[in-house]
């Protein structure tokens, strides 16, 4: 199975950097696998990448398979020191507010480390106002994140 990198790849590389800079004692990867996913869970693939890039296998922890942020937080909480359950949460800047709320609701102290900023230095031109497949994808991404934020705001 071939895996392709997207803008979300910033997450694993930031986590590896935090390990190499001795800012975190372990790298926790979530075994994300949706029911319709093909191949091994994402976390298993990312563990192999981290090992190839020099992270010792004994400090890489992989959760059970999870399907959403709430399940991720609960799975990560199982690995943590119960007296001071804290993490450096690495996720996309856009997803960080929701993820931080969910991890804190799971009793985890979070130091946010946002990556994958979606803004750029592009100058806005007329072409930005013409409908495109990318714009529809971005709108879908925004609406899904908004629904998630509302859901977890009501839940927690």
Summarize pLDDT for 43-81 with one digit per residue, the tens: 888 999 999 999 999 999 999 989 889 999 999 998 887
Beta-sheet pairing, 109-115 with 86-92: parallel
Q: Which of 83, 114, 113, 91 is nearest to 32 (CA)?
A: 91
In a domain, 156, yes or no: no
Is position 154 within any domain? no
- The enclosing domain of 21 has a CATH number of 3.40.50.620
Is residue 34 in a domain? yes
Q: Domain residues for 67?
A: 7-119
In a domain, 141, yes or no: no
Domain count of the fold of the chain:
1
Segment 89-118 mean pLDDT: 92
81 within some domain: yes
What CA–CA distance (Å, rounded) separates 31 from 45?
9
Kindly indicate the confidence band of residue 30, based on its pLDDT and cuts at 50, 70 and 90.
confident
Report if residue 41 sits inside a domain: yes
Cβ neighbors of 3 (< 8 A, separation 6 or more) are 39, 45
């Amino acid at each position: 199975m071939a895996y392709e990198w997207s803008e979300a790849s910033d997450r694993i590389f930031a986590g590896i950097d935090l390990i190499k800079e001795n800012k975190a004692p372990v790298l926790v990867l979530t075994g994300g696998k949706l029911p319709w996913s093909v191949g091994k869970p994402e976390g298993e693939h990312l563990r192999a990448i981290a090992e190839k890039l020099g992270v010792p296998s004994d400090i890489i922890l992989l959760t059970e398979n999870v399907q959403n942020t709430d399940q991720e937080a609960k799975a990560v909480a199982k690995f943590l020191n119960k007296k001071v359950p804290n993490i450096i949460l690495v996720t996309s800047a856009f997803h960080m507010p929701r993820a931080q709320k969910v991890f804190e609701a799971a009793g985890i102290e979070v130091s946010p480390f946002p990556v994958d900023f979606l803004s750029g230095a592009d100058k806005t031109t007329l072409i930005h106002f013409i409908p495109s497949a990318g714009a529809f994808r971005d709108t879908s991404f925004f609406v899904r994140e908004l629904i998630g934020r509302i859901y977890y705001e009501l839940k927690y």
